[in-house]
Amino acid sequence: MKHGKTVMICGYCAFLLASFLLGFEPGVKIGRNFISFSIAMIEVLPCAFVLIGLFEVWVKKETVEKHLGTESGLRGYLWSVLLAGTTVGGLYVAFPVAYSLHRKGARLSVIFSYIAASAICRVPMTIFEASFLGVKFTVIRLVVSLPLVFVSSMLLGSFLEKKRYHLTEGK
């Protein structure tokens, strides 16, 4: 399996190098996008991981269980949306936060709500959207999107809990 990944990475790098040398425009664009995305990640991820580490140390498991656990009810979903609204860095920051929430006892359906909400209602993105598309559009999008997020999260969480799903530790 590791050999296959190495071959794919080497093939990708060879494609990019050949694209730059031969002037193959789609390959050059792919390479530039990759570099741009990598720089953006390098700018955001270190700070985000420090904050996630502080969250792991400073926030007690009991606090997460109380506000986002099985006894939280609808309040847990509201907390997940508020937390998601403040998440900076998109989904590549939201997933490690979601994993941390899971380890501290958050309910699966609330975690799914957090992930989905971090994709659709981050505060900076919402302000940007409202400034270009209008406040009315933004409010309508949120009023339609959030109930769908909650319902789908509840259904998926309930399904997985019935199947006794649990995350395995990474290798």
Listed in order, strand segments (DSSP E) in the chain are none
pLDDT of amino acid 124: 84
Task: Dump the DSSP string for 27-61.
Answer: HHHHHHHHHHHHHHHHHHHHHHHHHHHHHHHHS-H
Helices 25-58, 91-103: crossing angle, 10 deg rounding: 30
Would you state the structure tokens that stand for residue 6, as one six-digit string?
Answer: 């190495």
Q: How many other C-beta atoms lie within 10 A of the C-beta of residue 56? A: 12
Nearest residue to 106 via CA among 140, 138, 153: 153
Cα(70)–Cα(62) distance, rounded to whole angstroms?
12
Predicted TM-score (pTM) of the model is 0.78
Instruction: Please give the average pLDDT of every successive group of 10 residues along the chain, which has 171 residues.
Output: 83 92 92 91 85 88 89 90 86 88 91 93 88 94 94 93 77 53
Contact 61, 106 (CB under 8 A): no
Which residue has tokens 């933004």? 138
pLDDT of residue 44: 81
What's residue 132's pLDDT?
Answer: 92
Domain residue limits, the chain: 1-44, 59-171
Spatial distance between the Cα atoms of 65 and 18, rounded to a whole number of angstroms:
52
The phi and psi torsions of 76 (rounded to 5 degrees) equal: -60, -40
